[in-house]
Structure 1
Amino acid sequence: MAQCKYASTKQTTNAARLSRVVIDVFTDLFREILQLHITEIQFPFVLQEKRDKLCFILNKNQKECLYPAKDLFTGTYKEFDLSLLYILLRNVSGIPSHQHGWGKTPKPMDRSVSANIERVREIRNKYCGHSGSVSLNDSDFHSIWQELRLIIGEIEAALKLTTYTDAINFLENETMDPEQQERYLSIIDDQQVTISDVKSTQDIIMKEQIRQNQEIERQGEKLCSLKKLSKKVQITSKKKKNPQVLYF
């Protein structure tokens, strides 16, 4: 009975298949997007330039990966998982943010590269892994899969890439055994914690930036008022020193 209770079903296979396409196909796609914007030769120098910003966002393992003690990063993009690639694409790649801004749900009609990167993050957080939906019915699965296929096609067209549409088409019906299912669900769960922490940290940064901008705006308004007051005082003082002479 216990074996029957935990046996794989079409619904659990759907969830695991979705996790697999995110881990395998989209991780490779994100790596290639990063490579198009920052080559691996340039990357260590970009890391040093963005060190203060990134170290505030990265977790311990990510810091140790990108900033080895007393040395520059000498690895490759193949070492990066989806969560770290999202951080890098968002913070150092130079890709313009979508209309609603990084970390927020894109407008439905916004099909920019950054909007589609954001959609992958949201689909991954909502539907993948044990904590997302270990059971995914056929209707939801096919709807999400079509969205991911569209995202891949749009990114490929925008950046002149190939192969990823073929990959997602292949994985849609590829056989998955129970061990594979558990592996992909577990991997995606580990990444879920990282991506959630990143979003929280980035939200804090954005709120602080908004607060600072508002404070600068308030200070600017005060300065403007003081300048106007000073000008009035000067005019009044000038009138007193040079009273108008009346001739009769």
Structure 2
Amino acid sequence: MDKLPNIDGFTVEICYKILRSENLLDEPKCKWGNLPNDTDIEIADDIQRLIKTTGLIIGLKSEEVTKHYFNKLLEEIKLIVTRVDSYLEKDTLRTMYNSLCRSETDCISILQDLTRVKPIEVSITSTESEKREMFSRLSIPIVETFPKILRDVIRQNIPAQLMYQRCVPVLKTFYPEQRKNIQDLQFSNTYGSLDVTLICQLLRQFSSITSPTKGWGKLPDKGDINLGDDVERIRCYRNNLSHRSDTKVDTKEFNEYFEEFRGIGYRMDQNLLQTTNYEQEIIGFRTCGMDTAMQKKYENAMKEIENIKLRFEKRPLKFYWGDDFDTWMTNLRSMLRDEKLEGRQKVRVQIIFQKAVDVENNMEVLNSLTEEINDGLSGIDFIVATKGSLVLIVDILLGMMETDEKLLTTLSLFLEKILARITNVTSETIDIVLLPVEESTQWNKQKTIGEQVYLEFDIEAQLLETDEKMVEQLTKISDAFLKHSNGSGTNQNITATLLPIDLGK
């Protein structure tokens, strides 16, 4: 700054800060710090677009740079250059762009230069109302777009009536409300009544699509972009946001989520056979008009997904859980009373620390002290901590689940030991969200009904003269099958259908 008015040594970051702090330009439509909509083409929009695009390029891996991505990026840069030249009433940038495109570039040298470029991190402080608005904007694609995408995916892979037929043999494994929605498939022949949770469960259980690269239940890495990866992303992002104990999102988190949402929309537009426009739909939600009523509508819609509520407090801990956890505990306690748990001794629970800091360091500490943490705690075993956010997976003895009091006393003692070992706990209160761990309900392949088996054999006509004779013969046939089934068919019901005989053959 001492060299002013000479600005030749100004970095991009300094120029950006001056333009923002001195209000030298009107604020972009998307507001500073966000990625503009494709239709936003004022000079401030392009400045913001350059900053965000630079950050994205720096973070790219080589395998992510496809020919399509490269061509799309070049076209976008060309448009930015043209608009900025028009604003400046010059032809400087266009000339530089054309010269660069014609030159024989030294790729290695450019890549070395790129490693020295750092993303521009400009502190953007959001008000509480802005944070709530950003949460509501993230809620719109989750409530409106993602269910439509998943219905398109499952419809493309299997008709609704056929899905109903596949579900019939295992219908009792679903919750009552899910059973009703599945039964509706046979009459409506559409997936309109199915929510995200049930669609993901059906896609997973019947292997209707390619499995995610890292498997089901884990957030895919950035480079994992097959159809199963994006279905799992939708499920994970929906759960992450609906399991929050508050409805506020800061600008950095908002931008990261929307970039992920936009990527899902883009790839789904490529994957689905019919014409869709999900990417542009999601982009529109980022800057669409939003009044107080609309903000409240989507905030409430997100709350209703899980209905997370404060259930118990023992300072500094606040325990939250939602309807899924309530339903799970009700079913579990019912089975405990009826002694229908078939020898199980433990159940698995997920504990999420909201707004955790220094996550990776705390993960390492906890994973190295699992035996010490478990020592002296009857009823609970610490399993693993998952990277990305501070999440603990624990196994709890069934006896500790009999009442809320037993569960919360056990968890409080356990978490007090955890808090004594992790760093940077500066909050007066710590919000804890409890979730049941999704256990795999993938049915044993030997027991799953997939392709039907047709048996044709000759039988003496007189053995079908009466129902009694026919039942006697079918019993003998069944016994013969079971005798040679190696036990694979003795632990479940087997349904067989007798078809009318074509006497013309």
TM range (shorter): 0.5 to 0.7
Amino acid at match of 2:211: S
Corresponding residue to 1:203 among 423, 435, 439: 439
C-alpha contact (below 8 Å) 1:89/1:95 kept by paired residues: yes
Letter in 2 for 1:50: C
| Aligned mate of 2:292, from 178, 191, 194 | 178
Q: Deviations over 1:30-68 (max 9, x none)?
A: 1111111123xxx22321223234541x32212112226
Which structure has greater strand proportion?
A: 2
Distance 1:204 1:90 in 2: 9
Deviates more, 1:22-31 or 1:195-204: 195-204
* Larger proportion of helix: 1
Are 2:177 and 1:77 aligned?
no
> Residues 34 and 93 of structure 1 are in contact (CA less than 8 Å); yes or no, is this contact kept in structure 2?
no
The one of 234, 242, 267 equivalent to 1:154 is 267
Corresponding position of 1:23: 143
Residue 439 of structure 2 aligns to a residue whose secondary structure is helix
Contact 1:102 1:118 in 2 (8 A): yes
Displacement after TM superposition at 1:132 (Å):
5.3
Q: 2:177 aligns with which of 46, 56, 61?
A: 61
Aligned to 2:165: 48
Q: 1:26 to 1:110 in 2, by over 3 A?
A: same
Q: Which moved more, 1:112-121 or 1:131-140?
A: 131-140
Hey, what does 2:239 align to over in structure 1? 125
Over 6 Å off, 4+ runs = 194-199
Residue 60 of structure 1 aligns to which amino acid in structure 2? P
**Runs of at least 5 residues in structure 1 that lack an aligned partner in the other structure:** 1-6, 210-248
Cα distance in 2 for partners of 1:121, 1:91 equals: 15
Is there any run of 5+ residues in structure 2 with no aligned partner, and where? 1-126, 307-321, 329-434, 445-505
Q: Which has the higher contact order (CA 8 A, sep 6+)?
A: 1
Give the superposed CA RMSD.
3.2
Alignment-mate amino acid for residue 255 of structure 2: H
176 and 147 in structure 1: CA distance in 2 versus 1, 3 angstrom threshold = same
What corresponds to 1:9 in structure 2?
Answer: 129
Aligned match of 2:254: 141
Rounded Cα–Cα distance in structure 1 between residues aligned with 2:281 and 2:200: 20
1:48 and 1:23 mapped to 2: Cα distance? 28
Shift, 1:128, TM fit? 4.0
Provide closer, same or farther for how the CA distance between residues 103 and 136 of structure 1 changes in structure 2, counting only shifts above 3 A.
Answer: same
**Equivalent of residue 208 in structure 2, options 94, 117, 128:** 94
The amino acid that maps onto 2:157 is: H
After superposition, give the CA deviation of every residue in 1:55-94 in whole Å (9 maximum; x if it has no partner): 41x32212112226xx944353222222222223323461
For the pair shown, the structure with the greater C-alpha radius of gyration is 2
